[in-house]
């Protein structure tokens, strides 16, 4: 970890690198990721957005190496609320999610090119 400390805890702005290659860069509150930040996993998946109590919570964007992307609301680390899921093939789903699943009202748009 490289960044700000308060009473022996990560607090303020900082960057943490884990042994597996994952990296978090952003705000910390009493040793937990909290506020605005970015997290990159070893496989290239990237999240930019809000954290609360160490997990994704609030608004954020998750990009997968295969081209998929989710942009929207998070709760307790899960996709939850309003958002848009972009598939690598060009399709999109815009609507409601619950615990990582499409749930409630939504619209799927399919694109076939041409």
Task: Kindly report the number of other CB atoms within 10 A of residue 80's CB atom.
Answer: 20
> Can you list the domains of the chain with their CATH numbers?
2-109 (2.20.110.10)
Share of the chain above pLDDT 70, in %: 97
Q: For residue 113, what pLDDT is reported?
A: 63
Helix (H) or strand (E) holding 34: strand 32-40
pLDDT digit string, tens, across residues 55-90: 999 999 999 999 999 999 999 999 999 999 999 999
Neighbouring-strand partners of residue 78? 75
Look at residues 81, 40, 89, 94 and name the one whose alpha carbon lies nearest to residue 62: 40
Q: Is pLDDT at 50 greater than 70 in this prediction? A: yes
């Amino acid at each position: 970890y490289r960044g700000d400390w308060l009473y022996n805890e990560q607090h303020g702005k900082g960057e943490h690198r884990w042994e597996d290659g994952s990296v978090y860069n952003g705000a910390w509150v009493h040793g937990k990721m909290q506020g605005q930040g970015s997290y990159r996993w070893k496989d290239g998946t990237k999240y930019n957005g809000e954290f609360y109590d160490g997990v994704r919570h609030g608004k954020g964007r998750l990009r997968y190496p295969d081209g998929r992307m989710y942009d929207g609301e998070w709760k307790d680390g899960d996709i939850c609320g309003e958002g848009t899921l972009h598939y690598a093939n060009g399709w999109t789903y815009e609507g409601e999610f619950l615990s990582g699943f499409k749930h409630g009202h939504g619209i799927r748009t399919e694109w076939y090119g041409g």
